[in-house]
Amino acid sequence: LAKHNQAKVLYDFSAEPGNNELSVKEGETITITNPVNITSFSLTFLNWNQCVLHIMWLGNLKKTLLCVTGVLGLIYERLSSACTCLTSGAEDDEWDDEWDDMKSTSGYPESESGDSGAIQRGARLFSCCTDALTLNRRKILIYKNLVSVFGAQMGEVGPVWSYPTTQLDCVVADPKKGSKMYGLKSYIEYQVTPNTTNRPVNHRYKHFDWLYERLLDKYRSAIPIPSLPDKQVTGRFEEEFIKMRMERLQGWMTRMCRHPVISNSEVFQLFLSYKDERDWKTGKRKAEKDETVGMMIFSTIEPEGPDLDPLEVEQKCEQFSRFTKAMDDGVKEILTVGNEHWKRCTGPLPKEYQRIGKAFQNLSSVFTSSGYQGESTLTDAMTAAGKTYEEIALMVAEQPKKDLHFVMETNNEYKGLLGCFPDTIGFHKAAIDKVKEGDQLVATSKITPQDKTMMAKRVSVMSYALQAEMNHFHSNRIYDYNRVMQLYLEEQVKFYETIAAKLRQAHSQFTTM
Amino acid sequence: LAKHNQAKVLYDFSAEPGNNELSVKEGETITITNPVNITSFSLTFLNWNQCVLHIMWLGNLKKTLLCVTGVLGLIYERLSSACTCLTSGAEDDEWDDEWDDMKSTSGYPESESGDSGAIQRGARLFSCCTDALTLNRRKILIYKNLVSVFGAQMGEVGPVWSYPTTQLDCVVADPKKGSKMYGLKSYIEYQVTPNTTNRPVNHRYKHFDWLYERLLDKYRSAIPIPSLPDKQVTGRFEEEFIKMRMERLQGWMTRMCRHPVISNSEVFQLFLSYKDERDWKTGKRKAEKDETVGMMIFSTIEPEGPDLDPLEVEQKCEQFSRFTKAMDDGVKEILTVGNEHWKRCTGPLPKEYQRIGKAFQNLSSVFTSSGYQGESTLTDAMTAAGKTYEEIALMVAEQPKKDLHFVMETNNEYKGLLGCFPDTIGFHKAAIDKVKEGDQLVATSKITPQDKTMMAKRVSVMSYALQAEMNHFHSNRIYDYNRVMQLYLEEQVKFYETIAAKLRQAHSQFTTM
């Protein structure tokens, strides 16, 4: 029995009668006998690894094999319609270490051929994340039915990733100064709390950077990975800077969490929910040795649905390429205009309102010195009006932080994201061109017809992935711009309404004569 | 009988029984027998001259002598508390041409001595404005009681001018291009309509300038006469310029109308309500020959109340001098700040809003090109938001004309007005210094003690006038700044409320997801 498909039970769990649950005791070992659907399970296991509470055995045929309550509830739902499971029956039975052999084992009512590649790839991923798992209670058979390794399905808008029912999310907060080497070296540590475990882990910027590098290595050919917020050498410990960096790390993490492939990845899960320092270090070492990087990533993606029309794929790519270029221009325009507006709103404009306020107040105090009777109503009102304009000056200067800021941040994020697409698209185009040359290459015997078929298949997977990624981008973009425009306009409305109210108040102090 | 105290009745008027009215028939001549209070009456006569409808005889003792309904109703009120009148009884009696003789005539129950100077001065003014008047029906005796030639009374705040109950006002409107010399010379003619006659007269800018010069000659030592709006050589016929000049002429005329001394003056009345070209030309020639100019003007002012304490007068003048200097600085500050704000509001700021609007719309049209489904709610909303910012840009650019403009115009007016005060004050100071030297001059026999007393009396009149003028300035200032601040804030409130409403509308088009 391979150790990587075993898990040690961390907590007691008593099965409830009638629920098809499996009672387990702390310290027992359970064995997973069919690790198909391994990507989904890698998540399961990672979380399991940290917070397994219950392991439920729900029996066979299109019902969920494993369901861990709480944070793993989502997997229950996700798998319940996708998995068919069987138990091998006998306790303490051993499985062959050779995954391919599983296929040949009888007792899988809906066994499919041609899954060996996926299963092997799955096994590979699986091996990365079962370190802390040891299984020894029952042999559990998992039969892949509908879900692919990385889900990519045909949706209404074309290929789309399989999204989890519950969105992974995390909060980056509470930056604290830490130090190493007896205080010689200081750094800022941020607390990252995922909604799955609700348990905070600490990370420095360089950890985020490490994660970024891992994701880039692993996914860049399929998924554009936006850059982290810039490194900064000076002023690293200034409050403003720390706040801004935290906010941007939050934005980056949110985007990563929202991505079904990335959020589901072992390295990302490690980052979000490592158990302790040892766990983190082990995980790190493993992630750095991950070989499923670059082009390899496509071998872990299994599109479902018919092959895509290559011509249509090319057109879609062209359109998307034009789109990202145009959007890049549009986003940069907003950033330029926003930047100018920001400067005006925080610089000359409030200064001007302040001067208007001061001018009114000065004239008011001149009036007070007139020695003329019955002046006070006017001078009080003018002083109040002047103060109102000084308040407006402050409001104007503070406003961009409340609204324009988010427009800028969102567009900055998109600028970064859009900057990643040419690579991803170029990569895909090169693959398409290669397939186009296919006949030529076969004719000149440079490749075999089988090679050509394989190439075409691989490109088809890439196209699926790219289109799923395009659609992911579009749906996120629509969400993000809706949200940020709403926020912006809401704050703008408040801003102008507050000014109007303040001025109405100032106006009321003047007497009608 | 002097012709200048006679008037020809222009319309029939039947006295109503019990009203103490006097029935007169067109063509009849009535005689005014006591032309004291001649300044007030010069107004009466001028208007009478043009629109006498009724002449009512109201009898004696503190009741009104003359009341002309309609536009002259104000004079009724003004005089009713200030005049005591008597008739000489017999029709067609003749009066001596010599005004001084009136005093010696019996039948004036409240006759006062020492009025001869005022009467003489009155006669002089009177003679200027009775051209078209011929009087021959009754001898009418007017007995001066409370009102001086130019009224200056002791009010709550110190010396104040006597104000008419109803404010003279006029509308400058309807600029029309006219031409002379067979079209070789063009000019713009404005229609000026006083609220007294409600009959428009036409004036070119050069007529206003002529009036300004007359008022300056006549009143500058007692009353600061603000300059007319600037002459301009190029672009005189451009609509914008004409509109602005008209508005400023209106402002200038309104200020002149509000001044009790100026509005009551013959030349001003001529300007407002000349009957025809001949009347205008005759009046012009007469005004140009007016000898009651410069220092002479103080001889037409008769302060009522005790002599002022010279020390207090000096202190008041010092205070006012400091005040006008400080206000001049304050006003200039507002003009500088306002000018900068104006430039920003009409230049870079709307351009920025426009660019923000365009940037949103551009991004929206990029989004439309995505080929992704379900995009239209966002793109429609973003386009609407973009258009809203373009509308805001227009609003921002137009706003200063609606509010800041009036702040600027008022402060510009005051800048001009304040610039006139140093002369007026300096003039007064010099006179005070001369009186201070009085004892010295008497001691060295350079003047007689009588001269010194006369000098002191004259300075006292000047002080009265200056302080009445200061108080006139203060009360107008309080009115003007109250009004302009109210207007400004009202428009500002509207402005910000409209923006908020527009943005709220734009906000509502985004969907909450």
Q: What is the dihedral of CA A292, A295, A300, A302, to 10 degrees?
A: 180
Indicate if the pLDDT at residue A9 is higher than 60. no
Indicate if the pLDDT at residue A331 is higher than 70. yes
**At a CB cut-off of 8 Å and minimum separation 6, what does B260 contact?**
B150, B151, B161, B162, B163, B164, B472
CA distances from B442 to B157, B429, B461 (A): 35, 20, 21
A-chain CB neighbours of B421 within 8 Å are none
Nearest to B56 by CA among B66, B64, B48, B71: B66
Nearest to A503 by CA among B490, B389, B339: B490
User: Mutate which of A370, A402, A473 to disrupt the B interface (most B C-beta within 10 Å)?
Assistant: A370
A-chain CB neighbours of B371 within 8 Å are 316, 319-320, 323
Alpha-carbon span B375 to B364, nearest angstrom: 10
User: Mutate which of A325, A367, A471 to disrupt the B interface (most B C-beta within 10 Å)?
Assistant: A367
Mean pLDDT, chain A, as a whole number?
A: 75
Contact B327 A366 (CB under 8 A): yes
Q: How confident is the model at residue A479 (pLDDT cuts 50, 70, 90)?
A: very high
Contact A330 B359 (CB under 8 A): yes
Alpha-carbon span A269 to A71, nearest angstrom: 13
- CA of residue A207 relative to chain centroid, distance: 16
pLDDT value for B184: 79
To the nearest whole Å, the CA of B344 is away from the closest chain A CA by 9
Alpha-carbon span A192 to A198, nearest angstrom: 9
- Classify residue B510 as exposed, middle or buried by CB count within 10 Å of its CB (0-12, 13-18, 19+): buried
Q: CB of A334 within 8 A of CB of B359?
A: yes
Q: CB of A10 within 8 A of CB of A47?
A: no
Interface of A with B in 319-348 (CB under 8 A): 319-320, 322-323, 326-327, 329-331, 333-334, 337-338, 340-341, 344, 348
A-chain CB neighbours of B471 within 8 Å are 372
Query: Is A15 near chain B, with CB under 8 Å?
Result: no
Contact A482 B340 (CB under 8 A): no
- CA of residue B209 relative to chain centroid, distance: 15
Q: CB of A269 within 8 A of CB of A47?
A: yes
Q: How confident is the model at residue A21 (pLDDT cuts 50, 70, 90)?
A: low
Query: Is A506 near chain B, with CB under 8 Å?
Result: yes
Alpha-carbon span A315 to B208, nearest angstrom: 76
Minimum Cα–Cα distance from B356: chain A residue: A337
To the nearest whole Å, the CA of B346 is away from the closest chain A CA by 13
Q: How confident is the model at residue B224 (pLDDT cuts 50, 70, 90)?
A: very high
Query: Is A360 near chain B, with CB under 8 Å?
Result: yes
Indicate if the pLDDT at residue A96 is higher than 80. no
Q: How confident is the model at residue A233 (pLDDT cuts 50, 70, 90)?
A: low
Query: Is B362 near chain A, with CB under 8 Å?
Result: yes
B231: helix, coil or strand? Answer: coil
Alpha-carbon span A438 to A445, nearest angstrom: 10
Residue in this structure with the two tokens 């660019």, named with its chain if needed: B355
Query: Is B173 near chain A, with CB under 8 Å?
Result: no
Nearest to B287 by CA among B194, B211, B202: B211
Indicate if the pLDDT at residue A345 is higher than 90. yes
**Euclidean distance between the first and final Cα of chain B, in Å?**
97
pTM, whole model, 2 decimals? Answer: 0.72
Indicate if the pLDDT at residue B148 is higher than 80. no
Minimum Cα–Cα distance from A321: chain B residue: B370
To the nearest whole Å, the CA of B510 is away from the closest chain A CA by 6
**Got the DSSP string for B273-313?**
H--SHHHHHHHHHHHHT----GGGGGGGEEE-SSPPPHHHH
**Euclidean distance between the first and final Cα of chain A, in Å?**
98
Nearest to B361 by CA among A337, A404, A400: A337
Contact B330 A362 (CB under 8 A): yes
Superfamily of domain B313-508: Arfaptin homology (AH) domain/BAR domain (1.20.1270.60)
Half-sphere exposure of B391 (CA within 13 A, CB side): 16
A446: helix, coil or strand? Answer: coil
B-chain CB neighbours of A496 within 8 Å are 496-497, 499-500, 503
Nearest to B415 by CA among B477, B355, B505: B477
Q: Percentage of chain A with pLDDT > 70?
A: 69
Closest CB from B356, B474, B489 relative to A385: B489
pLDDT tens column, A27-39: 666 555 444 333 3
Structure tokens at A232: 């900064």
pLDDT value for A7: 55
Indicate if the pLDDT at residue A236 is higher than 70. no
Indicate if the pLDDT at residue B165 is higher than 60. yes
Q: How many helices (H) and strands (E) would you count in chain B?
A: 15, 12
DSSP strand pairing (B66-67 vs B83-91): unpaired
User: Mutate which of A481, A487, A490 to disrupt the B interface (most B C-beta within 10 Å)?
Assistant: A481
Beta-bridge partner residues of A192: A172, A201
**At a CB cut-off of 8 Å and minimum separation 6, what does B277 contact?**
none
Structure tokens at B160: 């104040």
Nearest to B107 by CA among B34, B58, B3: B34
pLDDT value for B390: 97
B-chain CB neighbours of A362 within 8 Å are 330, 333
Minimum Cα–Cα distance from B341: chain A residue: A352
pLDDT tens column, A207-227: 999 999 999 999 988 899 999
Nearest to A482 by CA among B391, B506, B370: B506
CA distances from B359 to A43, A347, A451, B237, B372 (A): 42, 22, 49, 40, 21
Q: Does domain A170-300 have CATH number 3.40.109.10?
A: no
A170-174 average pLDDT score: 96
Neighbours of B314 (CB within 10 A): 17
Contact B327 A363 (CB under 8 A): yes
User: Mutate which of B323, B337, B343 to disrupt the A interface (most A C-beta within 10 Å)?
Assistant: B337
Structure tokens at B346: 């009409």
pLDDT tens column, A443-462: 998 888 888 888 888 888 88
Beta-bridge partner residues of B29: B8
Query: Is A500 near chain B, with CB under 8 Å?
Result: yes
What does DSSP assign to residue A294? G
| Interface ipTM | 0.72
Report, at the CATH architecture level, how domain B170-289 is classified.
2-Layer Sandwich (3.30)
Indicate if the pLDDT at residue A504 is higher than 90. yes
Residue predicted with more confidence, A391 or A76: A391
In this structure, of A10-19, A480-489, B95-104, B479-488, the range with the lowest mean pLDDT score is B95-104
Query: Is A61 near chain B, with CB under 8 Å?
Result: no
Closest CB from A355, A482, A510 relative to B486: A510
Query: Is A356 near chain B, with CB under 8 Å?
Result: yes
In this structure, of A56-60, A341-345, A486-490, A509-513, the range with the lowest mean pLDDT score is A56-60
Residue predicted with more confidence, B290 or B400: B400
Query: Is A395 near chain B, with CB under 8 Å?
Result: no
pLDDT value for B232: 66
Geometric angle at alpha carbon A405, from A404 and A408, rounded to 5°:
85
B371-383 average pLDDT score: 92
**At a CB cut-off of 8 Å and minimum separation 6, what does A72 contact?**
A44, A47, A48, A51
pLDDT value for A109: 34
Indicate if the pLDDT at residue B348 is higher than 80. yes
pLDDT value for A478: 95
Query: Is A402 near chain B, with CB under 8 Å?
Result: no
Contact B496 A499 (CB under 8 A): yes
**At a CB cut-off of 8 Å and minimum separation 6, what does B401 contact?**
none
Indicate if the pLDDT at residue B472 is higher than 70. yes
Could you give the angle at which helices B376-402 and B348-368 cross, rounded to 10 degrees? 170
Query: Is B295 near chain A, with CB under 8 Å?
Result: no
Query: Is B317 near chain A, with CB under 8 Å?
Result: no
Closest CB from B366, B373, B485 relative to A510: B485
Does B245 show up as a binding residue in the annotation?
yes
Give residue A228's identity as a one-letter amino acid code: L
Structure tokens at A394: 């402050």
B69-86 average pLDDT score: 31
A-chain CB neighbours of B377 within 8 Å are 482
Indicate the annotated binding residues of A.
204, 206, 245
Closest CB from B355, B483, B512 relative to A337: B355
Closest CB from A319, A359, A373 relative to B371: A319
Structure tokens at A439: 């006949």
Geometric angle at alpha carbon B381, from B380 and B386, rounded to 5°:
100
Q: CB of A13 within 8 A of CB of A53?
A: yes
Count interface pairs A-B at CB distance under 8 A: 187
Structure tokens at A235: 């002023």
φ/ψ of A200, rounded to 5, equals: -75, 145
A78-85 average pLDDT score: 33
Per-domain residue ranges for chain A?
3-147, 170-300, 313-508
pLDDT value for A309: 84
To the nearest whole Å, the CA of B511 is away from the closest chain A CA by 7
Nearest to A489 by CA among B52, B135, B360: B360
Contact B499 A496 (CB under 8 A): yes
Interface of B with A in 430-489 (CB under 8 A): 471, 474-475, 477-479, 481-483, 485-486, 489
Closest CB from A482, A489, A499 relative to B503: A489
CA distances from B480 to A68, A120, A414, B31, B395 (A): 78, 89, 54, 42, 26
Among A121-130, A315-324, B14-23, B77-86, top mean pLDDT goes to A315-324
B288: left (phi over 0), alpha (psi -120 to 50) or beta: alpha
Geometric angle at alpha carbon B380, from B374 and B383, rounded to 5°:
140
φ/ψ of A489, rounded to 5, equals: -65, -35
**At a CB cut-off of 8 Å and minimum separation 6, what does A242 contact?**
A175, A188, A236
